[in-house]
Amino acid sequence: MTTIATNEPIEQRAGLTWQWRREDLVTDYPATLWTLTYWFKKIGAAGANFSIVASADGSQFAVTVSAATSGAYTAGDYKWVAVVTYGSEAFEVDRGEFTLLAKYNAAANLDDRSHARITLDAIEAVIEGRATVDQQEYTIGTRHLKRTPLADLMKFRDYYRSQVIAEDNKAAGHASRLVARL
């Protein structure tokens, strides 16, 4: 049996069932009278937005999104707002950010590395390739190529390496919380 969270998730995977509750709204906005809707807006992309309407569970709100529904959502980072409505009244009761992880299945062909990991891997590949190339810039006919200075690449590598380490530490903490719940 899964324990249902009492707040919005900060991360979910597409293609899985999502559940959470809002028990803290019962005094001001009982679910017997009010409707709670979540609006998710994808950061940097139009057309991937979606909404979720919570169900009433007594006076509290319960959210359940089916695996089929979440599987149709686009992976990425989102901002969300929670709005309660009753007749012509509407109030924003919460907001946050949310990461939708790509769906895993047999047909999935995805690179689920973070931007930081992808960039770090690319920078390290360039640095490794530089070991056999000693020209900083050259011209062939009318074409001119100037490479990013190695010192700059090293700075970029150090920056993205710190981002990846932070992500790994966050994931390790998340994994230990999952194990603790089991």
Lowest mean pLDDT among 28-32, 82-86, 169-173, 175-179: 175-179
Q: Which domain does 34 fall in, by range?
A: 11-101
* 3 falls within a domain: no
Same domain, 95 and 171: no
Closest CA to 99 of 34, 15, 40, 19: 40
* 88 falls within a domain: yes
CATH code for the domain of 80 = 2.60.40.10
On whether the CB atoms of residues 127 and 157 are closer than 8 A, the answer is yes
89-108 pLDDT, tens per residue?
999 999 999 999 888 865 65
| pLDDT score for 174 | 60
Same domain, 93 and 139: no
Q: How many domains does the chain have?
A: 2
- Does pTM surpass 0.75? no
Same domain, 122 and 91: no
Same domain, 21 and 93: yes
